[in-house]
Amino acid sequence: MAEEKGLNKPVKLKNELAELLGATELPRTEITKKLWEYIKTNKLQTKTENGKPENAGKFIVADAKLLPIFKNTKSESKSGKVTDLTNLQEGQTINMMQMAAIVGANIE
């Protein structure tokens, strides 16, 4: 079998993410898919920033399991935009556009 490359190549997950997803290595595509499954199953989406979970919308509510994963995130994009979630509190939200930064911050 050919070696997987790019987004399909398995990467090592940091502890908090590994605990939530029940795996130590997964491709980025699977990590994102499994995070979304968790978010949808637990109805953690909302249409308003820091709004109540309503299972739709572009904001994701940090519950007790997602919070430690989100809090690992402090990164700067190529355009210089900083994503710093280190002070996030349970019940606060992140924008779904920050998911790539979160996944990146939780793999080795």
**63, part of any domain:** yes
Per-residue model confidence as pLDDT tens digits over 68-104 = 999 999 988 888 989 999 999 999 999 999 999 999 9
Give the domain CATH number at 17: 1.10.245.10
Question: How many distinct helices (H) and strands (E) make up the chain?
Answer: 4, 7
- 3-state SS assignment for residue 60: strand
Q: Backbone phi, then psi, for 98, in 5-degree steps?
A: -90, 0
Does residue 41 belong to any structural domain of this protein? yes
List, in order, residues 6 or more apart from 107 with CB less than 8 Å away.
11, 12, 13, 14, 17, 28, 31
Residue closest to 85 by CA, chosen among 9, 16, 3 = 16
Domain of 56 in residue numbering reads as: 7-105
Q: Note the pTM of the prediction, 2 decimals.
A: 0.88
Q: Is residue 1 part of a domain?
A: no
Domain count, the chain: 1
Averaged confidence pLDDT in the chain: 92
